Amino acid sequence: MSSANEQSTSTNPGKRTVSIALLVADTPPEDVVAAKGDYHRIYTSFLTRSLSTIRRHRWQERIELDVRPFDVVHAQHYPTDGQLADGLWDAILITGSATSVCDASSTPWMGKLLDFVRHVAEDHPLVRILGVCWGHQAVARAFGGEVEQNEAGGWELGVYDCELNEEGEEVWGFTKWDLEEERGSAGGALKMVDEEQDEGAPKKLRIQQVHKDHVTALPEDLNGTPFLNLCSTSATPIQSLCLRYPTDSPPMPSVAQTSQFIAFDTFTPPTSSGPSPPRGCQILTLQGHPEFDREIVELLIKGKATAMGAVPAGMVEEALQRAAREDDAMKIGRRIWAMLGVEEGREEGGESM
């Protein structure tokens, strides 16, 4: 039975806009743009679709998404310090790029981007930082990590299983509790990746990959807090980075109306869900591409193999087969939303809706 408060707010639950500054480090190839749009459209679509899979109570605030692109290559345009300080940006998200982070020291726009990422982390700590593929490498480089071309492992193209460590299982939602909850919410019909693994074996995150450069050494600690590696493949040992806050539920900048660190969220109306592990992440990155679907990856593989000649012909067939595999994009999207303070509603006893 709903409480009086739930009944009174269910007709007008309120609205919260999550604002993301998309730092666009490249433009996709023409055939990808023709099929799926530019990075602004691709990321907005991914985040909108994953948001639609999050079960929420009717009385919980309605979430709207505002993704605004910033050309950091040609215009070298960024959110202003005043906007950040006033809490107008909840997160910055750094896209992929066909360029190499290894060239950052000799490429002015890259140097400016790395400086900006450090500035946001140190001077606007409530603003969450997300990096995907090249963005993952850029974050690592910004804080003293090492990035190299993977001569030994070569390209990773298509869907790969990234083996999660204990911290990775927590952040990406692969603990035993998370998996049991997902099965229960699907009426037992949901087939999870761990069903094909031995009991107690490490869980694996399935994600599309299009890269040859990779992070080879973790970044240095930031203000005494270490960066964590969350998962790995045989070719790429550092697949996902996380930097945690000192507390597990700082507020979002747009809610607190500041970018300065506040330990606990006393602004957002409480729900029965409680903070999940991604909520405590200040920085979260992925080497893979949750925003890319099979069609995009197939176009990129074919383009790199033919027009660019970057991918050996002998790799193409296997890469296309990998691109057709199932992935965990929507699950990843839900965990990114949890980092941004949008979590699944639960029943009064804590069970999944």
Task: Kindly tell me if the per-residue pLDDT of 309 is higher than 70.
Answer: no
> What is the DSSP track for 205-257?
EEEEEEESEEEEEPPPPBTTBPPEE-EE-SS-SB--EEEE-SSSBPPPHHHHT
The domain limits of the chain are 4-150+212-290+328-339
d(CA 313, CA 310): 9
Task: Kindly indicate the confidence band of residue 7, based on its pLDDT and cuts at 50, 70 and 90.
Answer: very low
- What are the residues whose beta carbons fall under 8 Å from the beta carbon of 209, sequence distance 6 or more? 156, 157, 158, 159, 160, 287, 288, 289
Task: Kindly tell me if the per-residue pLDDT of 142 is higher than 50.
Answer: yes
Can you tell me the mean pLDDT for 317-330?
A: 97
pLDDT at 58: 85
Which of 161, 233, 229 minimizes the C-alpha distance to 192?
161
Task: Kindly tell me if the per-residue pLDDT of 10 is higher than 50.
Answer: no
3 state SS of 328: coil
> What is the DSSP track for 67-121?
EEEEETTTT-----HHHHHTT--SEEEE---SS-GGGGGG-HHHHHHHHHHHHHH
pLDDT tens-digit readout, 170-192: 999 988 767 766 655 544 444 44
How many CB atoms are located within 10 Å of the residue 208 CB? Answer: 26
Task: Say which CATH topology domain 4-150+212-290+328-339 has.
Answer: Rossmann fold (3.40.50)
Task: Kindly indicate the confidence band of residue 47, based on its pLDDT and cuts at 50, 70 and 90.
Answer: very high
d(CA 76, CA 110): 10
pLDDT tens-digit readout, 259-283: 999 998 877 766 555 688 999 999 9
β-strands 15-24, 62-71 pairing: parallel
Task: Kindly indicate the confidence band of residue 31, based on its pLDDT and cuts at 50, 70 and 90.
Answer: very high
d(CA 95, CA 77): 14
pLDDT tens-digit readout, 196-243: 445 567 799 999 999 999 999 999 999 999 999 999 999 999 999 999
